[in-house]
Chain A
Amino acid sequence: MPERRPHRRVYTIAGIAALVMFSFCFAMVPVYNIICRKTGINTSAANGDLLKPMSAEEAAQSPDLSRDVEIQFTSISHMGLPWDFYPQTKSIRVHPGANARVYFYAKNTTDKMMTVQAVPSITPPESISHFHKIECFCFTHQTLAGHASKEMPLVFHIDRNLPKNVRVITLAYTLFPVSTKRY
């Protein structure tokens, strides 16, 4: 039949298009990661507002005694990770420009040695670039033997450029297992 040929053309092209769209979905995984990392468009913080180290002049600032900011701490263990993990201080008030130190408590409740790492999240987004960590247990992996526990320090600095309307900042840590093995 003379019609078969144009049919084959259509279903070949359309079939390939469908396969391309299927692969497109998987191609989006790395592409999405790259785009988000380069542009930061997947977060509600503006691009320039991502976490950054404290500059020398910010470190030299004297505390702004005219106002204080409440910093709240919360923590969770990811998906049933059998660790006890909580802040020793639920919240403190600090003056912008001053340093503060708090402790988090962590205990490995299993029998085996385990390595974990805490990943932070800061809200509201406009405070992210003004929240500087000087020393943090979240910078490195934390390893504890079975049933061992420890107090982990966090030293941070809120700089004076923090927008005036921000009165409460929440810092949430999620504890992730580093070893991929099931526990």
Chain B
Amino acid sequence: MTHDQHATHSEEHAFGHSHEHEPPHHHSLKYGFLPWIKGWLFTTNHKDIGSLYMLLSLAMLFYGGAMALLIRLQLFQPGAHFFAPNTYNVLVTVHGLIMVFGVIMPAFVGLANWMIPMMIGAPDMALPRLNNWSFWILPFAFLLLTIALFQAGGGPNFGWTMYAPLSSKYGPPSTDYLIVAIHLMGISSVLGAINIIATITNLRAPGMSWMQMPLFVWTWFITAFLLIGAMPVLAGVVTMLLFDRHFGTSFFDAAGGGDPVMYQHLFWFFGHPEVYIMILPAFGIVSEVIPTFSRKPLFGHAFMVGAVGAIAFLSYVVWGHHMFTAGMAVGTQLYFMYITMLIAVPTGIKVFNWVATMWKGSITFETPMLFAIAFVVLFTIGGLSGLMLSIVPADYQYQDTYFVVAHFHYVLVAGALVAILSAVYYWLPKWTGRFYNERLGQLHFWLTVIGVNVTFFPMHFLGLTGMPRRITDYALQYTGMNMVCTIGAFLFGFAQLIFLYNVLSTVFGKGTRATGHVWEGAHGLEWILSSPPPYHSFSTPPSLTTVVGELNKKFEVEHA
């Protein structure tokens, strides 16, 4: 492991080098394959598990991304030349599931594993064995999902929302694999959430009060509650699907007294908190990155925390806006419309505060900052199209068109994914002790931002002119725009290979050494450790003066 020669912080030695510096045996293959595989399988170290989550997410990004490119290939021109409509439906379904449960969520959990203990001055997660289990369930879940693709009758083909009766009565046999896979993903997320809550509640370093927690920790704390509230509902609803499919129940079958619309209610009662599960940690990341590169404390820290709490609360009471056209009384529609619009208020506070943080800061534009700024701009576009969708009469027009596709890709790709890329560039020097290649990082940034907008912006127009989503073929007049989307998608997709190269080369020791502090404007407990941090950091909690001193710098409390 590298010894840090550029220690800028006086106390770095106390934390960086307090332990024997042997890296664990499973970090290298030179001790043989068996110790390597056993080490990774049974590791309970939060940094190891964080890395595993991030690697799984990276692999899934290319898996789900390849499906997206196949989808765009099919839509390059009308006529459905490349594969059968059912294959297309399978691709759309599995692409969605992989991206939601395999890329965005594990990436956030991986970042939480790496950063939360270091940010709050804890030695590890509160429940390390549970942590190991939460991760190792996931590869099996995605293995099951992959096996489902090769079953007779084809893979799941009803969209990631799995609406009954498409998934119950008409679902192919592979649906059962999907249901079990969803159960595994749900168990994994709930266990991970419990672990995060326990860590944050019990393991904060002395002197770190609730309101002094970094915003990434705060957003994850609130996200964990969303996970505990929402994921079991998804588990319940897919269990009902399983029962309807095999055990003669009629939860969603009108012939037996059930109601397919109830499926939509239950699914979206999970589904709407889920979309905030996928964006709140992104808010946290951007709230860490922007102050660092603006060299100013975050504007309105308390308001940021309050806004996240308000968004999380509102996320539980707005699910009906996903199903305005499913049949609903006017009063109910009005309630869901107004309460949905209300979410724009706390979100607006957040965007305002990020901009205010940059205001009069001495900004530099390193790759993480570029991604963070792109997040603020592009997420705002996605948020505004969401506001348009919340208007009931307009939604009747937008429902199930490419406008919806444009909206959720702006918040999930240009929002969540861009924030994750920002986080990886921001913390990679801390994790590996090496800087990534800045020029490649900037190239990756520009290709990504251009690619994302070329791919998803024309979809707004496609939707407004009436192209329905989830179709394998389309009317001739949409050809031009679809070609643009496809070209953008391939640009965006292949640009991620630069990211892959940049990350891997940094991990394997290319690049200039990073100091413990890494970024000039960075403050917080994670930056007082060496880069890379020792395998066991903060095994004795940092002293009160260290914590208070560092947090005062971070939040500029009492400038005296």
**Interface stretch among A12-20, A56-64, A65-73, A89-97?**
A12-20
Top 5 closest A-B pairs, CB basis? A25-B236, A21-B232, A22-B232, A10-B198, A14-B194
Asked if B232 and A11 make an inter-chain contact with CB atoms under 8 angstroms apart, the answer reads: no
**B66 close to A (CB within 8 Å):** no
Q: Which residue of B lies closest to A40 (CB)?
A: B329
- Number of B interface residues in the complex (CB < 8 A): 38
Asked if B202 and A6 make an inter-chain contact with CB atoms under 8 angstroms apart, the answer reads: yes
The 8 Å CB contact of A3, one of B126, B130, B235, B261, is B126
Expressed in whole angstroms, the minimum distance between the Cβ of B180 and any Cβ of chain A is 16
Cα A43 to Cα B332 in complex, Å, equals 10
Cα A6 to Cα B331 in complex, Å, equals 45
Cα A177 to Cα B229 in complex, Å, equals 39
Asked if A24 and B233 make an inter-chain contact with CB atoms under 8 angstroms apart, the answer reads: yes
Asked if A25 and B237 make an inter-chain contact with CB atoms under 8 angstroms apart, the answer reads: yes
The 8 Å CB contact of B233, one of A25, A43, A44, is A25
Across-interface contacts of B55 in A (CB, < 8 A) = none
**B314 close to A (CB within 8 Å):** no
**B9 close to A (CB within 8 Å):** no
Across-interface contacts of B235 in A (CB, < 8 A) = 22, 25
> In the complex where A6-B202, A7-B126, A29-B251 touch, is A44 in contact with B231 (Cβ < 8 A)?
no
Expressed in whole angstroms, the minimum distance between the Cβ of A48 and any Cβ of chain B is 11
**B394 close to A (CB within 8 Å):** no
- Give the secondary structure class of B's interface: helix
14 contacts between A and B (CB under 8 A): A7-B127, A10-B194, A11-B127, A21-B229, A21-B230, A22-B232, A22-B233, A22-B236, A25-B236, A25-B240, A28-B262, A28-B266, A33-B259, A44-B328
**B32 close to A (CB within 8 Å):** no
**B387 close to A (CB within 8 Å):** no
Asked if A7 and B228 make an inter-chain contact with CB atoms under 8 angstroms apart, the answer reads: no
Which of the listed residues A14, A26, A29 has the most CB atoms from chain B within 10 Å of its own CB? Answer: A14
Across-interface contacts of B256 in A (CB, < 8 A) = 180
**B255 close to A (CB within 8 Å):** yes
The 8 Å CB contact of A28, one of B169, B265, B332, is B265
The total number of A-B Cβ pairs within 8 Å is: 101
Expressed in whole angstroms, the minimum distance between the Cβ of B156 and any Cβ of chain A is 20
Asked if A17 and B251 make an inter-chain contact with CB atoms under 8 angstroms apart, the answer reads: no
Across-interface contacts of A25 in B (CB, < 8 A) = 232-233, 235-237, 240, 266
Can you list, as one digit per residue, whether each of B205-238 has a CB less than 8 Å from chain A (1) or not (0)?
0000000000000000000000011111101110
Q: Which residue of A lies closest to B229 (CB)?
A: A21
Q: Which residue of B lies closest to A15 (CB)?
A: B194
**A34 close to B (CB within 8 Å):** no
Cα A122 to Cα B193 in complex, Å, equals 47
Across-interface contacts of A11 in B (CB, < 8 A) = 127, 130, 194, 198
Cα A4 to Cα B232 in complex, Å, equals 26
The 8 Å CB contact of A18, one of B202, B231, B265, is B231
**A32 close to B (CB within 8 Å):** yes
**B28 close to A (CB within 8 Å):** no
Expressed in whole angstroms, the minimum distance between the Cβ of A107 and any Cβ of chain B is 20
**B152 close to A (CB within 8 Å):** no
Cα A22 to Cα B233 in complex, Å, equals 5
Asked if A10 and B261 make an inter-chain contact with CB atoms under 8 angstroms apart, the answer reads: no
Cα A7 to Cα B251 in complex, Å, equals 38
Across-interface contacts of A32 in B (CB, < 8 A) = 259, 262, 265
> In the complex where A25-B236, A25-B266, A43-B327 touch, is A10 in contact with B228 (Cβ < 8 A)?
no
Across-interface contacts of B266 in A (CB, < 8 A) = 25, 28
**B84 close to A (CB within 8 Å):** no
Asked if A17 and B228 make an inter-chain contact with CB atoms under 8 angstroms apart, the answer reads: yes
Expressed in whole angstroms, the minimum distance between the Cβ of A122 and any Cβ of chain B is 13
Asked if A43 and B329 make an inter-chain contact with CB atoms under 8 angstroms apart, the answer reads: yes
**A176 close to B (CB within 8 Å):** yes
**A42 close to B (CB within 8 Å):** yes
Asked if A46 and B329 make an inter-chain contact with CB atoms under 8 angstroms apart, the answer reads: yes
Expressed in whole angstroms, the minimum distance between the Cβ of A11 and any Cβ of chain B is 5
**B311 close to A (CB within 8 Å):** no
The 8 Å CB contact of B329, one of A44, A176, A177, is A44
Across-interface contacts of B197 in A (CB, < 8 A) = 10, 14
Cα A7 to Cα B130 in complex, Å, equals 12
**B144 close to A (CB within 8 Å):** no
**A47 close to B (CB within 8 Å):** yes
Asked if A14 and B228 make an inter-chain contact with CB atoms under 8 angstroms apart, the answer reads: yes
**A148 close to B (CB within 8 Å):** no
Asked if B201 and A6 make an inter-chain contact with CB atoms under 8 angstroms apart, the answer reads: yes
Cα A43 to Cα B202 in complex, Å, equals 48
Across-interface contacts of A78 in B (CB, < 8 A) = 254-255
Q: Which residue of B lies closest to A10 (CB)?
A: B198
Cα A177 to Cα B254 in complex, Å, equals 12
**A155 close to B (CB within 8 Å):** no
Across-interface contacts of A20 in B (CB, < 8 A) = 232
Cα A142 to Cα B51 in complex, Å, equals 65
The 8 Å CB contact of A42, one of B231, B269, B328, is B328
Can you list, as one digit per residue, whether each of B177-209 has a CB less than 8 Å from chain A (1) or not (0)?
000000000000010011001100111000000
**A41 close to B (CB within 8 Å):** yes
**What would 13 more interface pairs be, CB under 8 Å, given A6-B201, A18-B190, A26-B236?**
A10-B126, A10-B194, A10-B202, A15-B194, A18-B228, A18-B232, A21-B229, A28-B262, A28-B265, A32-B262, A36-B259, A41-B329, A180-B256
> In the complex where A21-B229, A28-B262, A29-B262 touch, is A177 in contact with B330 (Cβ < 8 A)?
no
Cα A46 to Cα B8 in complex, Å, equals 69
Expressed in whole angstroms, the minimum distance between the Cβ of A105 and any Cβ of chain B is 22
Asked if A46 and B255 make an inter-chain contact with CB atoms under 8 angstroms apart, the answer reads: no
Across-interface contacts of A23 in B (CB, < 8 A) = 236
Expressed in whole angstroms, the minimum distance between the Cβ of A98 and any Cβ of chain B is 30
Asked if B202 and A7 make an inter-chain contact with CB atoms under 8 angstroms apart, the answer reads: yes
Across-interface contacts of A33 in B (CB, < 8 A) = 259
Expressed in whole angstroms, the minimum distance between the Cβ of A99 and any Cβ of chain B is 30
